Amino acid sequence: MGSLATLFAPERVAVVGASDEEGSVGHAVTRNLLEHFAGSVVAVNPNQEAVLGLSCYDSLSEADAVDVAVVAVPPAVAVDVVREAGEVGVENVVVITAGFSEAGSEGAARERDLVAIAEEYDLNLVGPNSLGVMSTGVGLNATFAPTHPTSGSVSFMSQSGAFVTAVLDWAADRSLGFKDVVSLGNKAVLDEGDFVREWGDDPDTDVILGYLEDVADGRAFLEAAGEVTRETPVVLVKSGRTDAGASAAASHTGAIAGSDRAYEAGFRQAGVLRVETVQELFDAAAILAGQPLPDAEAVAIVTNAGGPGVLTTDAVGDTDLELASFADATLDRLDAELPEGANVYNPVDIIGDAPVERFETATDIVLGDPNVGMAVVLACPTATLSFSDLADAVVRQQETHGTPLAAVLMGGRSTQSAADRLAAAGVPTYFDPSRAVRSLETLAEYARVRERPPAEPTAFEVDRERARAVLDRARDRGADRLGVEAMDLLEAYGIPTPDGEVVDDPAAAERVAERLGDEVVMKVVSPDILHKSDIGGVEVGVPSGEVRQTFETLVARARRYQPDARVLGVQVQELLDTDAGTETIVGVTRDPQFGPLVMFGLGGIFVEVLEDTTFRVAPVGERDARAMLEEIDAAPLLHGARGREPVDTDALAEVIGRISQLATDFPAIAELDINPVLATAEGATAVDLRLTLEEEP
Ligand code: ADP
Ligand code: MG
């Protein structure tokens, strides 16, 4: 695949299947091109003399120097047309024709042919089943959409063609301008990763937006997005968030991970901003395209109405942002400038009779405060206020201070011209204060993405051969489910485990127990028992005198509660002081799109009840391992809540990194749980293990 530069900036575009028939796709595409395109348009149709005043060529081979061929012919001939494009040296092909993988097995076979041809000729192929592509840079509109976008710095890709037309129509009224637009169609060749990369290199694209239903190649996308988001924000709506498909998982990690967790994790790792609604997608686009990034996350609010000011304050509380507390000098100045009855503390209430001058003075003072990173200027209509003058004042203040701003104009028709004026200057306006705050939060989120260190993968020294031997031995036994008998695997990867042994008779249990201290932990070992404590298969704090008896009891319980379970023996393990630490879980599962996923969370026997977990796509470097520790709700427990000692987070992050490496090195590990990883002030210890093996893929 070559660069996509000529796809979006061609000089000569051919429509294969151009048509004079009103209402046909070939007609709409040709008309759109003729209406907007700065370059030349070629019509190809062997059955027509001329289309919309262009004389028709019989085939692509007769038209030379075509940069982009738009294919709008029936599916049965589309593949041949694409081959011909390849043969005559056309680099970019946009296949609008439908009837491929979305249409049964015959269509799927046709799509495979298309992919093979694209590979053979190194074609940049968009679609099939695409609405087409647009680029305002050269007035390219190679689509059958009814609307042509205004020019701007947002580039947009959509997996749904219908969504493209809806969005363009909607954006037309909201002064949101586009650079490139692409309807991805079936993504047979070019997919979201390719466009993210292209737009990341495009100096005219400031914001990348996408509507996705899935990601074709998860890892390629993450790699592209991870690089691009360091320079250009990528905001995505990914539909299909609620996924009911709870698989028959043999681990906590597998049970908790749905496919959406993988997207969530991958997007976060790559710095992609994920939004949930179409409204948020375009709010994010408008503010990212129009406003600078904040250098602090504290928000100032200036309002002429108390109630809405409080609503805005609440909205700040619902985000990760905080309400700015003003420096004394700011308070003094506000006090001197504002009338009796005004509130100088944030949210600053300049009261209902405020004219524009008072708005401007107060805004100027708070934007000058070093603690203020962003601001919301909120106005309700009053007799003393001209909204359009206010718009001018806000724009002036924005330019003077360079602080990101959002405006809330709580009115209807009377706000329209002010909103237009602000939008033209890049200041977004809203009716609802919570939307304004959410948009500012998006800016702050992106600022964090820009500031974070790059995700360097960490390579730990491990004994890979020893780990391989453990897995090979299991496979030779025909075992696909392993438990604590495979603790060696963790040791080989440098993960601390308690001292212990699996034994198969009471006398041996006693011998091991003697070596391990006055009291030990004993666990039944069986590939068929998923969660040992559920059947009374774990005894914690067994005194030496009771080891023999406990051996018999554990085996008997296993036989009683799960008569068909194969019992391999009993593990006798060193007793750890669990009260001195926090039980966490580190796990692995595999996602069809993204590969190994690593989970971290609050551990113990209630993992699936609490679901306080977070995921990353492996490899998980130190930056992300540390971020995972902070993302769970129980993070304060790790930092020593309620007088406890803070745990060794370095050690915990290292366990995550080492498990990520294990999962990457051994694709045969389908699922893995270490629950608990006991985190204490001294370190992190893997106390239990469960894993499922699959055939090497
Ligand atoms: P399972 O998860 O199959 O029920 P575990 O080995 O995780 O079995 O043990 C269950 C619980 O018992 C752990 O969450 C922990 O609270 C406690 N436990 C297990 N091993 C030890 C140990 N070596 N020292 C102290 N407590 C332990
Ligand atoms: Mg466990």
Q: In this structure, what CATH number is given to the domain that contains residue 383?
A: 3.40.50.261
- Residue corresponding to tokens 């100045």: 333
Q: Are residue 550 and residue 661 in the same domain, yes or no?
A: no
CATH label of the domain that carries residue 145: 3.40.50.720
CATH label of the domain that carries residue 504: 3.30.1490.20
Domain boundary, last residue among 451, 486, 516: 451
Q: Are residue 589 and residue 555 in the same domain, yes or no?
A: no
pLDDT-flagged residues of the chain (< 50): 244-247
Q: Are residue 311 and residue 167 in the same domain, yes or no?
A: no
Residue 484's identity, in one-letter code, is V
Domain assignment present for residue 99? The answer is: yes
Q: Are residue 112 and residue 192 in the same domain, yes or no?
A: yes
Predicted structure pTM score:
0.91
Q: Are residue 587 and residue 567 in the same domain, yes or no?
A: no
Domain assignment present for residue 470? The answer is: no
Selection from 686, 494, 658, 691 nearest residue 583 by Cα:
686
Asked if 485 and 502 touch (Cβ cutoff 8 Å), the reply is: yes
Question: Ligand 1: distance of its center to the CA of 678 in Å?
Answer: 9
Question: Ligand 1: distance of its center to the CA of 528 in Å?
Answer: 17
CATH label of the domain that carries residue 593: 3.30.470.20
Task: Determine if ligand 1 sits within 6 Å of the CB of residue 516.
Answer: no
Nearest-atom number in ligand 1 for the CA of 534 is 4
Q: Are residue 37 and residue 145 in the same domain, yes or no?
A: yes
Question: Ligand 1: distance of its center to the CA of 163 in Å?
Answer: 51
Task: Determine if ligand 1 sits within 6 Å of the CB of residue 575.
Answer: yes
Domain assignment present for residue 196? The answer is: yes
Q: Are residue 510 and residue 642 in the same domain, yes or no?
A: no
Nearest-atom number in ligand 1 for the CA of 537 is 4
Asked if 204 and 153 touch (Cβ cutoff 8 Å), the reply is: yes
Nearest-atom number in ligand 1 for the CA of 603 is 14
Selection from 187, 117, 114, 118 nearest residue 157 by Cα:
187
pLDDT of residue 413: 86
How many residues would you count in the chain?
697
Q: Which ligand lies nearest to the CA atom of residue 540 in the structure?
A: 1
Question: Ligand 1: distance of its center to the CA of 578 in Å?
Answer: 9
Domain assignment present for residue 475? The answer is: no
Q: Are residue 199 and residue 112 in the same domain, yes or no?
A: yes
Question: Which tens digits make up the pLDDT trace of 672-686?
Answer: 999 999 999 999 999
Provide the token pair at 410.
């709580």
Tell me phi and psi for residue 361, to 5 degrees: -60, -50
pLDDT of residue 245: 42
Q: Are residue 440 and residue 516 in the same domain, yes or no?
A: no
Bridge partners, residue 591, by sequence: 595
Task: Determine if ligand 1 sits within 6 Å of the CB of residue 674.
Answer: no
Please state the domain count of the chain: 4
- Residue corresponding to tokens 């080492």: 658
Domain assignment present for residue 487? The answer is: no
Q: Are residue 110 and residue 32 in the same domain, yes or no?
A: yes
Q: Are residue 557 and residue 606 in the same domain, yes or no?
A: no
SS (H, E, C) 486-521: HHHHHHHCCCCCCCEEEECCHHHHHHHHHHHCCEEE
Q: Which ligand lies nearest to the CA atom of residue 604 in the structure?
A: 1
Domain assignment present for residue 34? The answer is: yes
Query: Is the C-alpha dihedral spanning 55, 60, 63, 65 positive or negative?
Result: positive
For ligand 1, atom 20, which residue shows the shortest CA distance? 687
For ligand 1, atom 2, which residue shows the shortest CA distance? 531
Measured CA to CA, the distance from residue 656 to residue 650 in angstroms comes to 10
Whole-number Cα distances in Å, 169 to 72, 150, 165, 439: 23, 10, 6, 22
Selection from 168, 159, 247 nearest residue 211 by Cα:
159
Distance linking the first and last C-alpha atoms of the chain = 27
Question: Which tens digits make up the pLDDT trace of 171-192?
Answer: 877 778 999 999 999 999 999 9
What's the CA angle centered on 545, arms 539 and 550, to 5 degrees? Answer: 35
Q: Are residue 53 and residue 137 in the same domain, yes or no?
A: yes
Domain boundary, last residue among 519, 551, 575: 575
Measured CA to CA, the distance from residue 153 to residue 173 in angstroms comes to 16
For ligand 1, atom 25, which residue shows the shortest CA distance? 576
Task: Determine if ligand 1 sits within 6 Å of the CB of residue 538.
Answer: yes
**Which 3 state secondary structure label does DSSP give 690?**
strand
SS (H, E, C) 344-411: CCCCEECCCCCCHHHHHHHHHHHHCCCCCCEEEEEECCCCCCCHHHHHHHHHHHHHHHCCCEEEEECC
Asked if 539 and 550 touch (Cβ cutoff 8 Å), the reply is: yes
Whole-number Cα distances in Å, 544 to 515, 547, 573, 576: 10, 6, 12, 16
Range of the domain at 638: 578-693
Domain assignment present for residue 481? The answer is: no
Domain boundary, last residue among 186, 205, 224: 205
Task: Determine if ligand 1 sits within 6 Å of the CB of residue 24.
Answer: no
Burial 369-397 (b: 16+ CB within 10 A, else e): beebbbbbbbbbeeeebebbbbbbbbbeb
Nearest-atom number in ligand 1 for the CA of 484 is 6
User: CA-based Rg of the chain, rounded to a whole angstrom?
Assistant: 31
Domain assignment present for residue 233? The answer is: no
Q: Which ligand lies nearest to the CA atom of residue 536 in the structure?
A: 1
Please count the other Cβ atoms lying within 10 Å of the Cβ belonging to residue 137.
15
